[in-house]
Amino acid sequence: MQKTPMTGKGLLQLEDELRRLRSEERPAVIRAIAEARSHGDLSENAEYHAARERQSFIEGRIQELEELISTAEVIEPSSLSGSHIKFGATVCLVDEDTDKEITYQIVGLHEADIKQSKISISSPLAKSLIGKQEGDTVSVPAPGGDRTYEILSVKFV
């Protein structure tokens, strides 16, 4: 079975979502199905069909989360060190075209969130950064053409 790398924080978020789906969402949708059934003819009951569709989504997500959690390989960035970029690294870059500084943490696929400056290990930028170190320059393919970044710092926090 292939392991899924993620941070401890990412694993906690998945476990919280699973707990919420099991304890809140699943019972709520079961009540909604029961209520819709009480309205009579199920063949033309939009509430019933919507509730069943929601139930299907919830059960699918529960299965997905259970599998992710069972295959999780927790890697704590604070326990890592070195000068080369790897999973968990927080990297400060400067865009050589705009001179804009940006900072990203490289995390697992299921915890990536660009709004929180967390990029997936499988993203083009992360793939370009892995193995590099402070002072290196990387070129990343982008829809508008290649972007070039200089690595200003690498931290494991």
Q: How far is CA 142 from CA 34, 123, 139, 145, 146, in A?
A: 50, 11, 9, 5, 5
Per-residue buried b or exposed e for 66-94, using 16+ beta carbons within 10 Å of the residue's own CB: eebeeebeebebeeeeeeebbbbbbbbbb
Predicted pLDDT of residue 90: 95
Q: Helix or strand or coil: residue 16?
A: helix
Percentage with pLDDT > 90 across the chain: 78
What count of other Cβ atoms lies within 10 Å of the Cβ of residue 10? 23
Is residue 1's pLDDT more than 80?
A: no
Residue 86: pLDDT band (50, 70, 90) is very high
Q: Which residue has the higher pLDDT, 135 or 42?
A: 135
pLDDT digits (tens, 9 = 90+) for 11-36: 999 999 999 999 999 999 999 999 88
> Can you say whether the dihedral through the CA atoms of 79, 2, 90, 92 is positive or negative?
positive
110-118 long-range contacts (CB < 8 A, ≥24 apart) are 110/4, 110/6, 110/10, 110/14, 110/68, 111/6, 111/7, 111/9, 111/10, 111/13, 111/14
Whether pTM > 0.85 for this model: the answer is no
Average pLDDT value for residue range 38-62: 89
Q: Is the pLDDT of residue 62 over 90?
A: yes
Query: Quick one: which H or E segment has residue 126?
Result: helix 124-129
Query: Quick one: pLDDT at residue 92?
Result: 96
- Count helices and strands in the chain by DSSP H and E runs: 4, 7
Q: What is the pLDDT of residue 30?
A: 95
Task: Please state the rounded mean pLDDT for residues 96-106.
Answer: 94
Mode of pairing for the β-strands spanning 4-6 and 72-74: parallel
Mean pLDDT, the chain, integer: 92
